[in-house]
Amino acid sequence: MNALNNTIDSLFLRLNFLAPWGMRLSLGIAFVIHGSSKFPLPPQILIEHFNFSPKLASLVALSEVFAGLAIILGGFLRNHAGSLLTRLGALLIVIIMFNAFNIAHRGWFITAQLFTSEQIFLFVIGIYFLIKGNRQ
């Protein structure tokens, strides 16, 4: 049994670099899609539904796209700039998600609805990259 465990550990140790990429790509693509779905600018849905100004609504959409791209592109830069870009994207994601909870989903805090939605995972993965940057 120990030999089998060692074999499995050895296999997955070689694949260790893929784990953060799965989260990075999922998070980045989700934000690029969410943000680009609000184009053309200014996004009328944010103006009408949340009473945002056209400038704020446009800033939200552009921030979502930029944050997603920063998370993805930051992973390709294996230096301090890449880690900084990753953390900047993650900070934007955390801020966006915090405000989404506060504005759009006020009743969700510590409820089953929160933990069965994608939003909590976007928030938590954003926190992960904010803390870790590009370190594995």
Tokens of 54: 């056209």
> Residue-wise pLDDT tens for the chain (136 aa)?
788 888 888 888 888 888 899 999 999 999 999 999 999 999 999 999 999 999 999 999 999 999 999 999 999 998 999 999 999 999 999 999 999 988 877 776 677 777 777 888 999 999 999 999 998 7
The amino acid at residue 107 is G
Tell me which residue of 70, 73, 65, 72 sits closest to 31, measured CA to CA.
65
Name residues whose C-beta falls within 8 Å of residue 60's C-beta, 6 or more positions apart in sequence.
Answer: 35, 38, 43, 46, 52, 96
**How far is Cα 78 from Cα 86, in angstroms, rounded to an integer?**
11
Question: DSSP string spanning 22-71?
Answer: HHHHHHHHHHHHHHHTTPSSS-HHHHHHH---HHHHHHHHHHHHHHHHHH
pTM greater than 0.85: yes
